[in-house]
Structure 1
Amino acid sequence: MLKTNAGRFFEDYRIGDVIAHAVPRTVSGGERALYHALYPARHALYSSDEFARKSGLQASPIDDLAAFHVVFGKSVPDISLNAVANLGYAEGCWLLPVNEGDTLRSVSEVIGLKQNSSGKTGVVYVRTSGLNQRNETVMEFVRWVMVRKRDVDAPAPDTVVPTLKKTLDAADLSIPAGLDFTDYDTTLAGEPHRWGDYDVGETIDHVDGVTIEEAEHMMATRLWQNTAKVHFDATNREDGKRLIYGGHVISMARALSFNGLANAQMIAGLNGGAHANPCFSGDTVRAWSEVLDKADTNAPGVGAIRLRLVAYKAGAAFELKGDDGKYLPGVLLDLDYWALMPK
């Protein structure tokens, strides 16, 4: 009897499938320490219990993206084990902070299918939810991934491409209970720039760069239990290279954005995102941001700021697409998100 699992291929998915993913995970200070070891993450709310308490929280939560990686990693064996690439994101909502001691599990629903013209692959759209030990949804997001077919002759499913919001309204954002930035200490946070200091249309070059190391990338994928073959197995690609996990690039770019956006503390929403080009070991990642929108919130002293975060390995800051409308070859990531910032 065959006991191993080769993972799902494109023809194995059906619209409406609900997949409960294996291996719940209890997070601890270890995740925080390893996250800060892997990325130059310095946002004060995720570094200091005292800073978090003065901001109205019970303690410093796990970094928003660390929680995202845990939830995402649960889904990989069922959704993207046989992926060619993770393509994009939409409708991401961080609903509750994740604290040390919380146990996270993930559930995904298949909401879209589209076979590619080659007949060798197809795109699978899923909505993934992360739940804690109280069965509360702490986050949810939609992603779409290109998955190989097991049998190229398998009939194509009816095409269903879900209608997704291009952006979340500020009213869609969940503000953590008790969050209060009226007594916010910009000196301890690292920069004086508050919500009112940023203008829509402003661009920020984050200046610094980090060269991606093979060992760090592999440690990250193991930490998040992301078992996608393209990240682990160098024989899985014709060029013999392991593809850097897209979330690794997201976290690296977010950490680099501290220089210029140190007070963009909490990620509250993910409007959209694209992994524009592959990233490999040895690439040096740099980042820039553009302020897309601003909104007030009902939380005391808290404003919402919508940001485009771009990571690139070649070219220059503020270069994104060519005359043909396609991403330039040196662009790695184009991410559109909402963050919470002191007013």
Structure 2
Amino acid sequence: MSGKTNPGNFFEDFRLGQQLVHATPRTVTEAEVGLYLALTGSRFPLHSSDLFAGACGLEAAPLDDLLVFHIAFGKTVPDVSLNAVANLGYADCRFGVAVYPGDTLSTVSEVIGLKQSSGGETGVVWVRSLCLNQVGESVLQWVRWVLVAKRNLEAAAPEPLVPELPEAVPYAELEVPEGFSAAGYDCTLAGSPHLWDDYALGERIDHSDAMTLEEAEHQLATRLYQNTARVHFDQLAADGNRFGRRIVYGGHVISIARALSFNGLANACRIAAINGGRHVAPSFAGDTLSAWSEVLDKAPLPERADLGVLRLRTIATKGRRCADFPDRGADGKPDPAVVLDLDYSVLMPRRN
């Protein structure tokens, strides 16, 4: 058998401090923007209209923040999670300079934590990844942790190290796209009159709409991001897992939840940070997703009179509407319908 193919890294292949330079830099185009809209139905106007973005001081409509995240994330899969059993969570995700069609994105990662599972068949790997544009500016940085299979069950377990991560990205460290001003933001064109001032701490919003995941669409979305994880594509491999099915890429679930959140949070014009999040349960083709959000915190954006920050928690469910806000039971366990629990910070225009 030829040794030229890449089997991916298994848990015992990772080392603390290991630097991973990921292959395949990606020049993004307007084609990706259109395809992302087709696959998610996202309607946020800042990412949909050059004229709308220009009125807000930007050179053009920037790429949707989550499209940038997925492309950057996809670069890491062959080196980090090709042999993943599950992608467990995210933290300390900071969106940097805006990305426009024509920009080229590259990603590097560092292993910052390792812990073998008690059964000895898998282990958790923590990596901090950094995505840069063609001039070396930070577009995105984030931490994620992944449950990865072992190749050799007899391989010695590394000294465990679980990294300390911040509960949330400080508001003073959130980045606003260069040139952006809410002075030209048009609420009528944005689709909602509700600005930062109108939201209250603890407020819960049922986003009302729902979307059924289709096999062809989630496969196409995952290929768009050049994500090669076998659990999303290879049915022969999936035959051996406990579900017997290909799992929908969790990022696609995040994008659908964000698209659904437009109904109630239409003016959340920029995701500035993902503070934490986890895929509570897997999703499959045929599942119908709904979502609701809670305002965890709100604050004026430091040194900006035109923008405020909402810290949101968005819950996505499958096979259940969210009018009664399904969350955790009395035992603290997530409702069986919950598939995503995401804590993130958005920028929203303030009422002058």
Matches for 1:321-340 after TM superposition, within 5 Å = 321-340=328-347
- Aligned-partner residue type, residue 332 of structure 1: V
Aligned to 1:190: 191
Taking the aligned partners of 1:214 and 1:88, their CA distance within structure 2 comes to 24
Matches for 1:113-128 after TM superposition, within 5 Å = 113-128=114-129
Whether the 8 Å CA contact 1:200–1:291 is kept in 2: the answer is yes
Pair 1:320 & 2:327 matched:
yes
Whether the 8 Å CA contact 1:314–1:331 is kept in 2: the answer is no
Aligned to 2:47: 46
Taking the aligned partners of 2:340 and 2:205, their CA distance within structure 1 comes to 16
Taking the aligned partners of 1:316 and 1:271, their CA distance within structure 2 comes to 25
Deviations 1:262-299 (A, max 9, x none): 00010001100010000001000000000011111223
Q: 1:167 offset after TM fit, Å?
A: 1.1
Which piece of structure 1 moves more, 82-91 or 172-181? 172-181
Q: 1:2 offset after TM fit, Å?
A: 1.1
Taking the aligned partners of 1:169 and 1:74, their CA distance within structure 2 comes to 27
Taking the aligned partners of 1:274 and 1:327, their CA distance within structure 2 comes to 12
RMSD between aligned alpha carbons? 1.0
Taking the aligned partners of 2:56 and 2:177, their CA distance within structure 1 comes to 10
Aligned to 2:147: 146
Whether the 8 Å CA contact 1:182–1:300 is kept in 2: the answer is no
Aligned equivalent of 2:315, options 285, 310, 328? 310
- Aligned-partner residue type, residue 78 of structure 1: D
- Aligned-partner residue type, residue 95 of structure 2: W
Taking the aligned partners of 1:294 and 1:234, their CA distance within structure 2 comes to 44
Q: 1:240 offset after TM fit, Å?
A: 2.4
Taking the aligned partners of 2:195 and 2:91, their CA distance within structure 1 comes to 27
Taking the aligned partners of 2:170 and 2:305, their CA distance within structure 1 comes to 19
- Aligned-partner residue type, residue 118 of structure 1: G
Taking the aligned partners of 1:240 and 1:327, their CA distance within structure 2 comes to 23
Aligned to 1:22: 23
Taking the aligned partners of 2:70 and 2:132, their CA distance within structure 1 comes to 13
What is the SS of the residue equivalent to 1:182?
helix
Taking the aligned partners of 1:138 and 1:131, their CA distance within structure 2 comes to 5
Contiguous gaps of at least 5 residues in structure 2: none
Taking the aligned partners of 1:167 and 1:24, their CA distance within structure 2 comes to 29
Taking the aligned partners of 1:276 and 1:185, their CA distance within structure 2 comes to 37
Taking the aligned partners of 1:148 and 1:325, their CA distance within structure 2 comes to 28
Aligned to 2:74: 73
- Aligned-partner residue type, residue 333 of structure 2: K
- Relative to the length of structure 2, the TM-score reads 0.96
Matches for 1:169-208 after TM superposition, within 5 Å = 169-208=170-209
Deviations 1:133-188 (A, max 9, x none): 00111110000000000011111100000000011121121112221112321100
Pair 1:277 & 2:281 matched:
yes
Aligned equivalent of 1:257, options 255, 258, 261? 261
Q: 1:235 offset after TM fit, Å?
A: 2.2
Aligned to 1:299: 304
Which piece of structure 1 moves more, 75-84 or 50-59? 50-59
- Aligned-partner residue type, residue 311 of structure 2: R
- Aligned-partner residue type, residue 145 of structure 2: W
Taking the aligned partners of 1:248 and 1:316, their CA distance within structure 2 comes to 19
Deviations 1:287-326 (A, max 9, x none): 0000011111223411111111111014452111122212
- Aligned-partner residue type, residue 99 of structure 2: V
Matches for 1:80-95 after TM superposition, within 5 Å = 80-95=81-96
Whether the 8 Å CA contact 1:242–1:280 is kept in 2: the answer is yes
Aligned to 1:241: 245
Taking the aligned partners of 1:299 and 1:105, their CA distance within structure 2 comes to 31
Taking the aligned partners of 2:8 and 2:185, their CA distance within structure 1 comes to 48
Deviations 1:207-250 (A, max 9, x none): 01000000001001110000001011112233320000000000
Aligned to 2:57: 56
Taking the aligned partners of 2:219 and 2:244, their CA distance within structure 1 comes to 15
Whether the 8 Å CA contact 1:181–1:300 is kept in 2: the answer is no
What is the SS of the residue equivalent to 2:66?
helix
- Relative to the length of structure 1, the TM-score reads 0.98
Whether the 8 Å CA contact 2:205–2:294 is kept in 1: the answer is yes
Q: Quick one: structure 1 residues 260 and 200, their matched pair in 2 at CA, closer, same or farther if it must change by over 3 Å?
A: same
Taking the aligned partners of 2:140 and 2:260, their CA distance within structure 1 comes to 24
Whether the 8 Å CA contact 1:278–1:332 is kept in 2: the answer is yes
Which piece of structure 1 moves more, 208-217 or 312-321? 312-321
Aligned residues: 343
Taking the aligned partners of 1:39 and 1:241, their CA distance within structure 2 comes to 22
Whether the 8 Å CA contact 1:206–1:287 is kept in 2: the answer is yes
Whether the 8 Å CA contact 1:322–1:328 is kept in 2: the answer is yes
Aligned to 2:228: 227
Whether the 8 Å CA contact 2:290–2:321 is kept in 1: the answer is no
